[in-house]
Amino acid sequence: MTDYSSGILFGGDYNPEQWEESTWQDDFDKLSQAQVNSATINVFSWPLLEPAEGEYDFEQLDRIMAHLEHNQICVVLATATAAVPPWLAHKYPEVMRTDINGILQRHGKRHNACPNSPIFKRKSKALVERLVARYHTNSLITHWHVSNEYGGTCYCENCAKAFRVWLKERYGTLEAVNQAWNSHFWGHTYGSWEEINPPMRTSDIFSSGKPVLGGAALDYRRFQSDSLLENYKMERDIIRKYDSKRPITTNFMGSQKDLDYFKWAPELDVIAWDNYPSLDTPASFTAFSHDLMRGLKHQPFMLMEQTPNQQNWQTYNALKKPGEMRMLSYQALAHGANTVQFFQLKQSRNGAEKFHGALLSHSVSTQTRVFQEVAQLGGELAQLPQALIESEIHPNVALIFDWESYWGLENCIGPTTQLDYVASVYRYYQALYQQGIAVEIVSKQDDFSPYKLLLAPSMYITTDEVTEKIKAYTAAGGVFLTNVMSGLVDETDNIHLGGYPGQWRELLGLTIDEIDARPAAQAVTLHSATGIVGQGRTLCDLITPTTAHSLAWYGDETFYQGQACLTANEYGTGCAFYVGTYLDDQGLAFLMTQVLKRSQLAAKAAGEVEIMTRTTENQSFTFIINTGEHPQKIMNPYPDAYELLTQTNSPTDLELAPFAVIILQQDHE
């Protein structure tokens, strides 16, 4: 019997139910030629497992499992609850979601169930109970995969009722809700719980998507994320009743907006996510997304989906160039992935995903370019040491990602419509990436003390507890950086009074009363004692330093010329930097020079070459990756180290072909 408990899972989603059964064995034989050792199955099979209410049929799934066992391919078994069967929606239409316009959806698409429908909960629970009871002793299964890509929002009456219960549990009294939401605004004062409805287009959401009451919209976001989490936990608990060992997960989607993944993370045994960069996605953003997923639990994660070739839903679905899929796979491993999995293993013949790339294309040939590249990768991964899977990453820099600030900032009506939380946070990650600085992405609940540098870009929402943590971190010698639109409001979108940036005025040594918004064509030059250091765009804080000193100030394009735009404030034995505008690349480079010097961090920039290190107590594994399509030459950071992929000692000078990957192994004494 094959041992499925170790090694890198290599495979991905396979949907044999979409094909004639006579083709299955040939598919599995071909997949085995590519060193595929795992298959994710049963993701959307509810109508096949329960073709009519209460009538279960697992015979087809039994046969699929038997074929996989014959080929020694292990299984990531999904619970099949990601889409409701037509019979369920037809008999119980209330299981379907109601959209933001108040329209009840009919059966179709996927991820289509109301998370607060009692009928959906009862029926999905019954299905999962039958499924897990039948297969929990099967040794093929390495992971349980609950539902699929949770997301979306429902506004039905079931959700409205559950929202009121959620609010009672959070606030206790109606008076507390009115105070938290400042609901006296525009005559919204609530006199009974039944008067509260979800904020939607028929009530309190403008055509722009912005809310009347920011606090209500924030709470509805929190409530919907929690509702879907309760669905996940319900299924997880059924699985855990039968299986106490094998990990349970679901697949996340990077920086998607719907769910607070930091709140979800403790409920998953391992983080899994789906990586789909577009034609113009920079390597740094893919790295950012991997680091966000690793940061959710500060542990290795599963790359559960990527395409072997092209996607099908973007404006231009470019082919992956030779070597690019391999490079992206190793980039995931470099940032903490312990699996390389694809969507999909065989290309669909019909349906919305028929032009989505796959290991087996419509030709079903093993001689295609894509199949040969995947097979090469499979052979390489099979030779990597177990110690690599057991290794971890320990950066000196932390960057806070906060879903509540994400929701709150993008709900703002003013000072500009160009507020993009993810883009703002990513810009600072990118500046560090370009300097070769590894980053740990953290939540505001994490311990900041292990890090030399802490960044909190666009952290719109802050609380007494978080403020005191950041102050203590900085006072103890840490270096803190934040920027415009940070620290402005409390958990329910009420402005911290006394001047911007609210509770952070003392820490940053400044105060702000006005924020200018400027069109894209009206950038402002930024000056320091050495001359022009860059440009400020979109938003410009008018900063009045109190104890901070100015690093740069605005040029003469504005009436506030000479006013500070970049500051640094000594606080305890640490330092707090503030950026009062959105910086261009030159401005960010100037800022990072100051910040890294104060943090005692050395830049290790290498152009398009990414260098990441994973370590164990006894070994280190350094990934050197050319993320671009042009050759690169760099000095070897560890000359004569053992190179895992070629199984040779590495030279002093490295010549990297387009998308080339080198993994250097060093043993620690």
Q: Which residues are known to be catalytic? A: 149, 305
Q: Give 130-137 contacts, CB < 8 A, sequence gap 24+.
A: 130/49, 130/56, 130/58, 131/42, 131/49, 131/58, 131/77, 131/79, 131/80, 132/79, 132/238, 132/239, 132/241, 132/242, 132/243, 133/242, 134/58, 135/65, 135/77, 136/239, 136/242, 136/243
The first and second tokens of residue 69, run together, are: 């066992």
Show the 3-state SS of 74-123.
Answer: EEEEECCCCCCCHHHHHHCHHHECECCCCCECCCCCCCCECCCCHHHHHH
Structure tokens at 399: 């960057």
386-399 in b/e form (b: 16+ CB < 10 A) is: ebbbebebebebbb
Distance (Å, rounded) from C-alpha 407 to C-alpha 214? 9
Token duo for residue 21: 């059964």
List CB contacts of 54: < 8 A, sequence separation 6 or more.
none
The residues near 115 (Cβ < 8 Å, ≥ 6 apart) are 154, 159, 224, 227, 228, 230, 231
3-state secondary structure of 59: helix
Question: For residues 204 and 202, what is the distance between their CA atoms, to the nearest angstrom?
Answer: 7
Instruction: Please tell me the distance from the alpha carbon of residue 118 to that of residue 474, in angstroms, as a whole number.
Output: 48
35 vs 359: CA distance, rounded Å:
12
Burial 16-29 (b: 16+ CB within 10 A, else e): bbeeeeeebeebbe
Q: How far from the centroid of its chain's Cα atoms is residue 125's Cα? A: 27
Per DSSP, the three-state class of 346 is: strand
- Other CB atoms within 10 Å distance of the CB of residue 139: 13
Label residue 142 exposed, middle or buried (CB < 10 Å: 0-12, 13-18, 19+): middle
Contact assessment for residue 171 and residue 177, using Cβ atoms and an 8 Å cutoff: yes
Residue labelled with tokens 């507020």: 419
Cα 420 to its chain centre, rounded Å, is 16
β-strands 397-400, 439-442 pairing: parallel
Q: How far apart are CA 171 and CA 150, in angstroms?
A: 27
Q: Which two tokens stand for residue 468?
A: 């005191």
Which residue type is seen at 350? N
d(CA 178, CA 191): 9
